[in-house]
Chain A
Amino acid sequence: MTEQIDKALAREYEAGFVSDVESETFEPGLDENVIRRISEMKGEPEWMLEWRLSAFREWLEMEEPEWALVDYPKIDFQSISYYSAPKSMKDKPKSLDEVDPELLRTYEKLGIPLIEQQMLAGIAVDAVFDSVSVVTTFREKLEEAGVIFCPISEALHKYPDLVKKYIGSVVPKKDNYYAALNCAVFTDGSFVYIPKGTRCPMELSTYFRINEQNTGQFERTLIIADEGSHVSYLEGCTAPQRDENQLHAAVVELVAMDNAEIKYSTVQNWYPGDENGKGGIYNFVTKRGICHTNAKISWTQVETGSSVTWKYPSCILKGDNSVGEFYSVALTRGRQQADTGTKMIHIGKNTKSTIISKGISAGRSNNSYRGLVRMNPGAEGARNFTQCDSLLIGDQCGAHTFPYVESRNPSAIIEHEATTSKVSDEQMFLCRQRGLDPEKAVSMIVNGFCKEVFKELPMEFAVEAGKLLEISLEGSVG
């Protein structure tokens, strides 16, 4: 039976192609000069360069974290190129007609048409290719609502005060090793500002694509939801199939002001490496949001790619009555390793957090949930509910749970539930006895296991997530 399941899971990596685009790529290596050059390429203000340099100096003093349950050879930071951009992007195309058609074709092949007429109606897309944003769609329509959605490199020119005020305010420069590195060398990413009382009229989405060899992608996303506003943001990512490992170290900061709500969804499908663990993306990401009074931040992630994942989208529940949510599906197979989870820091009174984590391990992979729930002394009446479920497929994989709980307020309530189960012979037999082939049976069982998380995803992404797990969600339930 294990063989059948392996076959069912061994899907092709459809995003593994390379685009033939002439790029301008820095020589590998990292020093202050490289950082100056990045800053210069982007035409950044002086304060930004200084900020980068100070982060770099901090980073030099820091140690690579080793506490995660992942194993990979030491990264040689001098062998990575820190900037790569298609040459055609140098002239800053003003409209889609001026964008290199090969770039547009790349996104089309990935199922993300960038021509507005062909796009799904309700979604605006920022397409980031290696170190630059290629195009951001529906900007005019968003501007009518007062919503700012643009590459962060552009926001530095147009809205320097907003960027300066909030960048590094949620994830400090020296928060951790990879965050500090990102501060020093980040190249592009999305910037979002939703004005007071505004409900963003469309879903916002950023699609990250790594194309060039030997480059790292260091993107930076900053989302600010002003008082009483609401936004739903989606993020997708893919990379070519290569034998070498590539580093992706991103930082995402969310700011939810009083009564604001941010829903942040990720479908992570970086190249996972082959069945023997050769190649693949190292996905070392810091994502954190801060909630002010009555605000709510909801993280939903479907992690299926990357050879190594190290990622803990977190919420700082600073304001009273604020709410943090984390819904996660992490699927590992082959030799993939994932150490992922969340941190919920309860500071305000009556703050509430919910954590639903579903880990699926197959092949010879390792899948860990690592989560911290902290109730600070002032978190009167705070509540947390955590549910951590692991599904094992086959007998050579590992599932691990590392819950950390710190409560310094006696009125706080913390609940933790955990289960581990297997796709059983009985379940497979029932499905096949009713006429389902083994592939359909596995994907259906896995899909059922993930249902609580999938229902949190925006419709379009739920479909994509389903497909990623080889699941057809179409039409079955009326």
Chain B
Amino acid sequence: MSNTKSLLTIKDLHASVEEKQIIKGLDLDIKPGEVHAIMGPNGAGKSTLGYVLSGRDGYTVDSGSVTLDGEDLLEMETEDRARAGLFLAFQYPVEIPGVSNLEFLKASVDAQRQARGEDAITSADFLKEAKAACKQVNLPVAFLKRGVNEGFSGGEKKRNELMQMLLLKPKLCILDETDSGLDIDALQVVAEGVNSQRSADRSFIVVTHYQRLLDYIKPDFVHVLSDGKIVKSGDASLALELEAQGYAWLQKEPAEDELEG
């Protein structure tokens, strides 16, 4: 595995919001095709990590480095990170009234293709793709004509995020608590959509508070984030352990290590 090039490498990342440090020395290495789950208690910095990686205004990197495909991610503008293949599925997708989903999606795809020096896709071809994506995430085609997330239910918003992911075909998808507010049926639809997109050249960071989502999206690795650091990493079985025992035992663990040492 070590001879495969990493897609994302985070080294000793420290980051702050409004002068309060939230990420405090985080390391993570993701290879193409891998699915990493990041779990942790509320306030651990799970959502912050997604925002820092995608370059949201107001999230400041204090130190450390992040590379995507060998490129310095932190040097890039927000939109350039997206064009480089980073996609964030939002926990609370925002509405853009009056801008149709189709218009928004086409503009996004156009901007990304243009940045990569690819030819623009024709409106007719794009419409075909968009309709297929609707079908796959179980949204009526009429949603393409509606304003972005305008009046959508919680589940519809999440499926709309997934549709954007299907059309943008990113290299790295960060799913920020995509399971929150979803009933079991909606959760299955979203999970199936994600699973259908798993491939050797696409990686995922699945941020979640609950193990439930990981029943449907099987991770290769599970990391526990606590107080801005990854405190434990393991395989899928770690998620089940967390489900059974909660997060509290992990916060004691460093002390036990010290005793043993």
Contacts and interface: CB of A to CB of B under 8 A. Distances in A.
**A and B bind:** yes
Interface of A: 1, 424-438, 440, 444-445, 447-452, 475-478
Contacts of B97: 448-449
Given A430-B90, A444-B107, A475-B123, A437 B79 contact: yes
Q: How many B residues are at the interface, by size bracket?
A: 35 or more
Nearest to A421: B97
A431 B104 CA distance: 8
B96 A429 contact: no
B190 to A, nearest CB: 18
A432 B79 contact: yes
Given A429-B56, A433-B82, A450 B98 contact: yes
B108 A476 contact: no
Given A426-B94, A429-B56, A477 B100 contact: yes
Pick from B77, B79, B106 the residue with the most CB of A within 10 Å: B79
Contacts of A451: 98-99
B112 interface: yes
A38 B107 CA distance: 53
Contacts of A425: 57-58
Given A440-B107, A440-B111, 12 more contacts: A426-B94, A430-B148, A432-B82, A434-B82, A434-B111, A444-B96, A447-B99, A448-B99, A448-B148, A452-B98, A478-B123, A478-B127
- When A and B form their complex, which 3 residue pairs have the shortest distance between CB atoms, in order from nearest? A448-B98, A448-B99, A434-B108
Nearest to B94: A426
Nearest to A452: B98
Interface in B134-181: 145, 147-148, 164, 168
Contacts of B103: 444, 476-477
Contacts of B168: 434-435
Contacts of B123: 475-476, 478
Contacts of B55: 432
Interface of B: 54-58, 77-79, 81-83, 87-88, 90, 93-94, 96-100, 102-104, 106-108, 111-112, 115, 123-124, 126-127, 145, 147-148, 164, 168
Given A430-B90, A445-B96, A448-B97, A436 B107 contact: yes
15 contacts: A425-B58, A427-B96, A429-B56, A430-B94, A434-B104, A434-B111, A435-B108, A440-B107, A444-B99, A447-B98, A451-B99, A475-B106, A476-B100, A476-B106, A477-B103
B94 A424 contact: yes
A476 B127 CA distance: 10
Nearest to A473: B103
A448 B57 contact: no
Nearest to B81: A433
Nearest to B80: A435
A429 B108 contact: no
Contacts of B93: 430
B108 A436 contact: yes
B183 to A, nearest CB: 24
A435 B96 contact: no
A92 to B, nearest CB: 48
Nearest to A434: B108
Contacts of A435: 79, 82-83, 108, 111-112, 115, 168
A397 B104 CA distance: 27
A1 B99 contact: no
B78 A432 contact: yes
B244 to A, nearest CB: 35
Contact of B107 (A426, A438, A449, A476): A476
Nearest to B88: A433
Nearest to B112: A435
A105 B16 CA distance: 57
A435 B54 CA distance: 11
A329 to B, nearest CB: 12
B124 A434 contact: no
Contacts of B127: 478
B95 to A, nearest CB: 8
A1 B168 CA distance: 25
A450 B83 CA distance: 28
A95 B74 CA distance: 64
B261 to A, nearest CB: 43
B99 A445 contact: yes
A425 B94 CA distance: 10
Nearest to B82: A435
Contacts of A424: 94
A436 B113 CA distance: 11
Nearest to A419: B97
B102 A476 contact: yes
B146 to A, nearest CB: 12
A430 B79 CA distance: 10
Contacts of A426: 94
Contact of A478 (B57, B88, B107, B124): B124
